[in-house]
Amino acid sequence: MPRVLPGPATRRRHKRVLKAMSGARAARSTLFRTAKQTLLKARAYAFRDRRARKRDFRGLWIIRVAAACEARGVSYSKFMGGLKKACVFLNRKMLSEVAIADPAAFDKFVELARPHIAAPA
C-alpha cells in the first residue's frame, strides 16, 4: 500500500485542538498529543463543574443568609423553618440578595419567622 501523508483534514483537526488549548501551560498548548488529552480532561471538568456550580452557589447563599440571621439573633435553620411555617417561600438566593440590598426588609422576614420558632425546651 502506498504511504498516506497527513492531509488537510488532519491539519485542520490539529489546528482546532491547539487553538482551543492555546491558553494552556507549556507543552499542553504546543504539542498536539498532550493538548488533546488536556482538552478531553478540560471538557470533563467543565461538564462536572456546570453541575457543581449550582451546589456551590446554593452553599454561598446559605452562608450569607446564615450570617444575616446570626446578626439578628436567629439561627439559620430556625429561620428557614419559621419562614416555611409562615408560608414565605422565597428561595435562598433571593433571601441572600434581600439581606444585602435591603437589610430592613430582611428584618421583616425575621419578624415573620419569629412567632413560628419554638422556644428552646
Q: Which of residues 35-74 bind another protein (CB under 8 A)?
A: 57, 60-61, 63-65, 67-68, 70-71
Q: Report which secondary-structure segment, H or E, holds 78.
A: helix 76-85
Grid cell digits, residue 7? 492531509
The number of helix segments (H) and strand segments (E) in the chain equals: 6, 0
Q: What distance in Å separates the CA atoms of residue 108 and residue 49, rounded to the nearest whole number?
A: 36
Q: Which is nearer to another protein, 102 or 111 (CB)?
A: 102
Grid cell digits, residue 73? 439573633
Q: Which is nearer to another protein, 21 or 65 (CB)?
A: 65
Binding of residue 90 to another protein (CB under 8 A): no
* Binding residues for another protein (CB under 8 A): 57, 60-61, 63-65, 67-68, 70-71, 93, 96-97, 99-101, 103, 106
